[in-house]
Amino acid sequence: MSGIAVSVERVSVRLGDYEALRGVSFAVPEGAFVAIIGPNGAGKTTLLNVILGLQTPDNGTVTVFGGHPSDLAPTALGYVPQVKTLDRTFPGHAIELVVSGIRRGWPWRISAAERAIALKSMERTGVARLADRPISKLSGGELQRVYLARSLAREPKLLVLDEPGAGMDVSAEADMYHLLDAYRRANGATVLMITHDWEGARVHASHVLLMERGLAAFGAPEEVAREDRLLKVFGYAGHQAATHRSNADA
Amino acid sequence: MLDVFALETMRFAAVATALVGFVASYFGVFIVQRRMAFLGSGLAHAAFGGVALGIFLDAQPLITAVPFTVAAAIAIVWLRERSALAEDTVIGVLFAVAMALGIIFIQLRPGYVGDANVYLFGSVLWITRTDVYLAGALAAGTVCTAPLWGAWAYASFDRNLAKTDRLRVAWHDYALACAMAVVIVVSMKIIGMLLIAAFLVIPAATARLLSHSFRVMTLLSIAIGSVTPVFGFFLAHAADVPPGAMIILVQAILFFAALAVRKRS
C-alpha cells in the first residue's frame, strides 16, 4: 500500500481556449477527508473529472491508489455528481438509482437481495421512505441523499462528491458530514468533496484544497484558511464571508 | 375490412410494418431519453443519399443505403466525440452533404425518380418477401441486443455516472447509432424518409408521458410501436391514403391523448 490515495502531479487541462487547470500538484493520504474549495470557475469540477478518469489532462499525471484512474475497480469508487446536471425527466425510482450503483447498469428488475442492500444504504442517509418515489418527485436535497446512498451501497474506498450539500437544509447537511466522517473512519476510506461550505470544511475535513485554476493551497484547514490566501482567491467579499463564519464560530 | 389481406403484397406490408414498428419503438426509448430525435431525422436524410447511390449504380438501393447510412451514423458520433461542435451542428452538416449527393446521383440517372419517390414517401406496393425477411431479421437482431438494455438505459440516465462505472459509453453510442441507421433504412420503404424520424420518436414519447419507470416506458413504447402500424395500415387502406402518413397520424393521436392524461394527473 502506497499510503497515498490520490496523487496529482503538474496537471494542466485546457477546455477549448479556457485554461481550467494550470500545473496542479498535491497528494492525498489514504483515509483523508479533503474539502475542495474555490470560487466559481476555479477548476474544481475539472479536477474531479481528471481524478475520476473522465477527463484526460493535457499535461501531468494522476494516479489513484498507485494506478491510472481508469484502472480503479468501479466498486472501489463512489461518485456523487452535481444534482443540477441530472436529467430529472428520466423515468425511474429512487431505489432503481441506488441499485444502479450496485449493479453498474439500470435494473430491469430488482432482486430481493439488491433491494435489501439498497434499503439498508438508504436507511443510513435517511431516505429509505422515498425508495419507491419517482426521481422527478424528489427535492434536490432528497436526491443528493439518494445519490449518497447509491455510492455508499457499494462500500467504496474512494468517495468523490461534487457539491453534495447543495439543496440540503442545515440539519441534513450536518447529518451528511457526520455520516461521511463515520464512514471514512470505519472503512479507512478517502473522501474528496467539492463544497462552498467553509464551516463544514473547517470542522470536518482533515485537509482543505484551495483552488484558483491552479492550486492556491493544500493542507490542514486552519493552515489553508489564512486571511491573505482567502483574500487573494475569493476577493474582498468572499474573504469577509469566510472570516465572518469563522469568527462567529469561535 | 380484412379483404385488405387478400393480396400477398398487403400481407407482406402489414407484417413488415409491425416488425419495424417494434424495432423502431424499442430504440426510440433511448433516442427520446437522450434527446437524439434530430439524429433520426439526419440519418433518414443520409439514407436517402445511400438509396440514390444504389439507383445511380443500378443496384438494389438497400444494399448501398445500409452501409452509407451506417457510415454517416459513425461519422456523426465520431465528430461529436472528437470535435468541439454540437451534435445538431454535425448532423446538420452531414445530412445536407448526404442529401446533396443523393440529388446529384438521381440527377445523373434520369428516369429513375419513381424509385426515389418510394423511399421519400413510402409505398406498401413495393414491399416484397425479402423486405419481410429483412424486417424479421432486424427484429431478431433487436431482441439479441436485450442484454444491453441496462447499459443503454444507464448511459441514457447519466453518461458520466456510467463512465465512472467503466461502461464503454462511446462504444454503446456507436452501436445505438448504427442500429438506428439500419432501422431507418429498412423502414424507409414503408414509412418514407420524410416521416421516419417521427416513427422512431412518437411511440417512445407517448410512453414517456405515461411512465414513471424506464422498464414500463420500454414495454409501453414497444406495444404502441407494434400495434399502431397495423391500425394505421387498415385505416390507410380504407381511406386510400399512404400508410406511412396514416400510421404517424394514429401515433400522434395517441401522443396527444397521453399529453392530455398527463396534464390532468
Measured CA to CA, the distance from residue B31 to residue A243 in angstroms comes to 50
Cβ of A106 within 8 Å of Cβ of B214? The answer is: yes
Nearest-CB residue to A91 (from B84, B167, B212): B212
* Chains A, B: CB pairs < 8 Å: 75
Report helix, strand and coil shares of chain B as percent, to nearest 5.
Answer: 85, 0, 15
Contact: A81, B166; criterion CB under 8 Å = no
Residue A81: list chain B partners with CB under 8 A: 158, 160-161
Interface predicted TM-score of the whole assembly (ipTM), two decimals: 0.83
The minimal CB distance from A92 to the residues B151, B157, B165 is found for B157
Cross-chain Cβ contact B212/A86 below 8 Å: no
Is the CB of A90 less than 8 angstroms away from the CB of B151? Answer: no
Whole-angstrom distance between the N-terminal and C-terminal Cα of chain A? Answer: 39
> What is the model's pLDDT at position B223?
95
Asked whether the beta carbons of A6 and A189 are under 8 A apart, the reply is no
Summarize pLDDT for B227-257 with one digit per residue, the tens. 998 888 888 888 888 778 888 899 999 999 9
Best A68, A75, A106, A132 member to test B by mutation, with max B CBs in 10 Å, is A106
Question: Chain-centre distance of CA A120, in angstroms?
Answer: 21
Cα A24 to chain centroid distance, Å, stands at: 18
pLDDT band at B23 (very low <50, low <70, confident <90, very high): very high
User: How far apart are the CA of A195 and the nearest CA of chain B, in angstroms?
Assistant: 19
Cα(B249)–Cα(A116) distance, integer angstroms: 46
CA A68/CA A70 separation, integer angstroms: 5
Instruction: Pick the more confident residue, B4 or B160.
Output: B160
Interchain proximity B160–A54, CB inside 8 Å: yes
**How many Cα atoms sit within 13 Å of A213 on the Cβ side?**
8
The SS3 of residue B165 is coil
- The partner residues of A28 in beta bridges, in order of sequence, read A6
**Which ranges in B83-148 belong to alpha helices (H)?**
87-108, 113-121, 129-144
Considering only CB atoms, A108 lies closest to which of B150, B163, B167, namely B150
β A158-162/A190-194 pair status? parallel
Quick check: B106 and B116 in contact, CB under 8 A? yes
Query: Which of residues B194 and B132 earns the better pLDDT score?
Result: B132
- Give the span between the Cα atoms of A174 and A183, in whole angstroms: 14
Reported residue count of chain B is 265
Residues in chain A: 250
Q: Mean pLDDT, to the nearest integer, of B94-116? A: 80
The continuous run of DSSP H or E covering A4 comes out as strand A4-15
- CA separation for the pair B240, B218 (Å, rounded): 32
Contact state of B217 with A91 under an 8 Å Cβ cutoff? yes
Q: Bridge partners of A37?
A: A210
Q: What is the residue whose three cell numbers read 400510421? A: B247
Confidence of residue B210 (pLDDT cuts 50, 70, 90): very high
Cβ-nearest to B165 among A74, A86, A90: A74
d(C-alpha B218, C-alpha B207), whole Å? 7
Predicted pLDDT of residue A1: 46
Question: CA B43, CA B147: separation in Å to the nearest integer?
Answer: 25
Q: What residues in B contact A74, CB-CB < 8 Å?
A: 164-166
- Answer whether A105 sits within 8 Å of B153, measured CB to CB: yes
Going by DSSP bridges, is the β-strand pair A158-162/A77-80 parallel, antiparallel, or unpaired?
Answer: parallel
| Distance from C-alpha of B62 to C-alpha of A168, rounded to nearest angstrom | 56
Cβ distance of A90 and B150 shorter than 8 Å: no
Alpha-carbon distance of B25 to A89, in angstroms, equals 19
The minimal CB distance from A106 to the residues B154, B164, B211 is found for B154
Give the residues of chain A that fall short of pLDDT 50: 1, 248-250
Q: With beta carbons under 8 A apart, name residues in chain A contacting B204.
A: none
Contact A87 B157 (CB under 8 A): yes
Q: How far is CA B124 from CA A230, B17, B24, in A?
A: 72, 9, 18
**C-alpha–C-alpha distance, residues B126 and B12, integer Å:** 10
Q: How confident is the model at residue B70 (pLDDT cuts 50, 70, 90)?
A: very high
Chain B residues within an 8 Å CB radius of A51: none
Q: Which of B33, B148, B161, B209 to probe by mutation at the A interface, max A CB count within 10 Å?
A: B161
Cross-chain CB nearest to B84 (options A16, A87, A136): A16
More reliable by pLDDT, B192 or B26 = B26
DSSP element (H, E) containing A160: strand A158-162
Put simply, the answer to whether A106 touches B167 (Cβ < 8 Å) is: no
Residue B55 has pLDDT above 90, yes or no: no
The mean predicted confidence, pLDDT, of chain B is 86
Residues from chain B that touch A79, judged by Cβ atoms under 8 A, are 161, 164
Q: Describe the crossing of helices B214-239 and B149-157 by its angle, rounded to 10 degrees.
A: 100
CB contact under 8 A, B164 and A93: no
Q: What pLDDT, on a 0 to 100 scale, did the predictor assign at position B140?
A: 94
Closest by Cβ to A90, choosing from B33, B149, B216? B33
Which residues sit opposite A161 in a β-bridge?
A80, A193
Closest Cβ–Cβ partner in B150, B166, B211 for A91 = B211
**CB pair distance less than 8 Å for B150 and A70:** no
Contact B212 A85 (CB under 8 A): no
Are B48 and B102 contacting, i.e. CB atoms less than 8 angstroms apart?
A: yes
Q: A137: nearest CA in chain B?
A: B212
The rounded distance, in Å, linking the Cα atoms of B225 and B19 is 9
Mean pLDDT for B69-93 is 86
Residues B118, B126: Cα–Cα separation, whole Å: 8
Q: Positive or negative CA dihedral for A134, A135, A141, A145?
A: positive
| Distance in angstroms (rounded) separating the CA atoms of residues A142 and A95 | 12
Cβ atoms of B42 and B76 within 8 Å: the answer is yes
Tell me the DSSP string of A183-216: HHHHHT-EEEEE-S-HHHHHHH-SEEEEEESEEE
- Look up residue A30 and give its DSSP letter: T
Dihedral angle computed from the Cα positions of residues A239, A244, A247 and A248, in that order, rounded to the nearest 10 degrees: -160
Predicted pLDDT at B114: 61
Q: Select from A128, A142, A129, A182 the least CA-distant residue to A159.
A: A182
